[in-house]
Structure 1
């Protein structure tokens, strides 16, 4: 797959198994292909949910009426030490037509985040016909141990301690792939209602944010499988609910938050596929979809440097997938 940007490469690179493996997987039948693909993609989908969902704030001190800030935000979501997300146990008893070539009934195989290679399976009809192929490995086998994300974000202050937020990544296109992102959020500063608001050393806020991410990868021209309009489409939707506290100093401030994230990813295998190898040769149209869910508590701590209209911030989030976020901000008030 072409890699026009680093971000595009990582997100859609996790779907590029289709170029070398979709014919093999479909040769095992729809049910087996769907079961394997769901287990294979679930961890990277979960990691992507965490990657795009954070960084809604860099202070608990909501902007006053007319105050605004525009940010360029980048995230790195790591999985280097998450062995439980890099492999799953494939038990042949759960599959109708898939067996290991060495006679094993179960073993660890790679997910889209993993690095296990050289696992061979055979598809057989139990009689004469059979097809042998190698299961795909994942990102760690290419020395990638994190998922990146990035977007533009804007915040504007309204009355009574309320701040509206929006994030956006314009659609990035190549000849065969595209990604885009948008989201909306709201922050409310409860300390703005206190009589001593102007002299309090800290601010306390609540933040709610929604993020939508979509990606598509068209591999019709790769000639891996005969057919038409062959593509993968991924959609992610997530919500975060967070309580935030921060200092209120002129130049350098510190902030932290505790919250809850919930999200869902859905990947659709679309188009027409003419399987011409293996014992189950047939034609499939829009063969299947797989989905993954993520939810859990998140906690972060960060710091922000403010020099007039120019600001910098960085924070680290501890969650099911830990995340480092860095932002360059331009703002007024």
Structure 2
């Protein structure tokens, strides 16, 4: 039971980064319906957030198969946007297998997901396990009104011997205030150019560059909670989002323009913990409480991806762009500066 309650709390806290007046009441109402129903609703609502952010963790590592020369370096800033398809912008509670929640008489069973429309979903009625109406109603939560999941990347790359370069992603802990929490990022990646390794540097029989690359990125997110409007129960969320990718890349430099294509494998996982003491009213005279719910772990992305993109170089500056097709389609754009190829 604690695990299911934790999932509901964690999920609704994450989607409430721009807090709404009725967010805490929505959580309480869902808990009245039982942990299993609450978990199913939360998972349906947050599904595009997990998938889109998971893909963004693995994006933007490189836009060319050419490795950097020894001790040559580059710093880049870019951002990805994973597009949530129409099919992932809504969900139907009638397909979730809920036990204690049904659409109220005359109401729709459809609700927006986190990246659906900024409007209330259908009005729900809560029933007991015996199928008796409790007299409790709530609306399925709103979406945020736009349909792309953003993910930023800040990265430095350094050339090593043997046609290898390594990349470091880092963002110091940034505090966005009491209502928004804090976030930090760390990641490491590597790329090895294959043709010089196989054929040597003297005779280029193949007029393209080919490389293998991989990367690991982790975002950490922390948010203090006041679910029941108290400030002395040490309520907080500790969350980690991990992404791993491996890619085969081919590119061709044409003066200042370098197009590339890649295909690879990626995975992304979410690990969240709720800490503190939580209480929710189940009726005017009764409530339920729990302390330090257990961790929630899930795999959000696990599959193949393919990308097409380019790099433009003008002196010390470079401009990047790419399109990726995977679970969701995604674009990446950014700029960088550095010394040497």
TM-score, normalised with respect to structure 1: 0.84
Q: Which residue of 1 aligns with 2:309?
A: 302
5+ residue gaps in structure 1? 1-10
Q: Which residue of 2 aligns with 1:119?
A: 122
Task: Supply the distance in 2 between the matched residues of 1:187 and 1:301 (Cα, whole angstroms).
Answer: 17
Q: Describe the superposition over 1:133-176 as per-residue Cα deviations: whole angstroms up to 9, x where unpaired.
A: 1111212xxx3121112131011111111111111222221223
Alignment CA distance shift 1:14-1:282 (3 Å): closer
Task: Supply the distance in 1 between the matched residues of 2:29 and 2:62 (Cα, whole angstroms).
Answer: 45
Alignment CA distance shift 1:20-1:147 (3 Å): farther
Q: Which residue of 1 aligns with 2:322?
A: 315
Task: Supply the distance in 1 between the matched residues of 2:16 and 2:55 (Cα, whole angstroms).
Answer: 16
User: Which segment is superposed worse, 250-259 or 82-91?
Assistant: 82-91
Whether 2:329 is the aligned partner of 1:329: answer no
Q: Which residue of 2 aligns with 1:95?
A: 98
CA contact (8 A) 2:236 2:275 kept: yes
Task: Supply the distance in 2 between the matched residues of 1:227 and 1:91 (Cα, whole angstroms).
Answer: 39
Ranges of 4+ aligned residues in structure 1 off by more than 6 Å: none
CA displacement at 1:22 relative to structure 2: 1.3
Q: Describe the superposition over 1:92-128 as per-residue Cα deviations: whole angstroms up to 9, x where unpaired.
A: 8833422221288x94333222236341112233557
Task: Supply the distance in 1 between the matched residues of 2:299 and 2:287 (Cα, whole angstroms).
Answer: 29
Q: Which residue of 2 aligns with 1:3?
A: none
Q: Secondary structure at the match of 1:151?
A: strand
Task: Supply the distance in 2 between the matched residues of 1:74 and 1:42 (Cα, whole angstroms).
Answer: 21
Count how many residue pairs are aligned between Structure 1 and Structure 2: 316
Whether 2:268 is the aligned partner of 1:266: answer no
CA displacement at 1:198 relative to structure 2: 6.7
Alignment CA distance shift 1:147-1:101 (3 Å): same
CA contact (8 A) 2:57 2:268 kept: no
CA contact (8 A) 1:209 1:240 kept: yes
Alignment CA distance shift 1:97-1:61 (3 Å): same
RMSD after superposition: 2.8
CA contact (8 A) 1:267 1:290 kept: yes
Task: Supply the distance in 2 between the matched residues of 1:223 and 1:29 (Cα, whole angstroms).
Answer: 18
Task: Supply the distance in 1 between the matched residues of 2:283 and 2:325 (Cα, whole angstroms).
Answer: 46
Q: Secondary structure at the match of 2:105?
A: coil
Alignment CA distance shift 1:284-1:319 (3 Å): same
Task: Supply the distance in 1 between the matched residues of 2:314 and 2:111 (Cα, whole angstroms).
Answer: 50
CA contact (8 A) 2:212 2:249 kept: yes
Task: Supply the distance in 1 between the matched residues of 2:140 and 2:52 (Cα, whole angstroms).
Answer: 21
CA contact (8 A) 2:228 2:279 kept: no
Q: Which residue of 2 aligns with 1:212?
A: 218
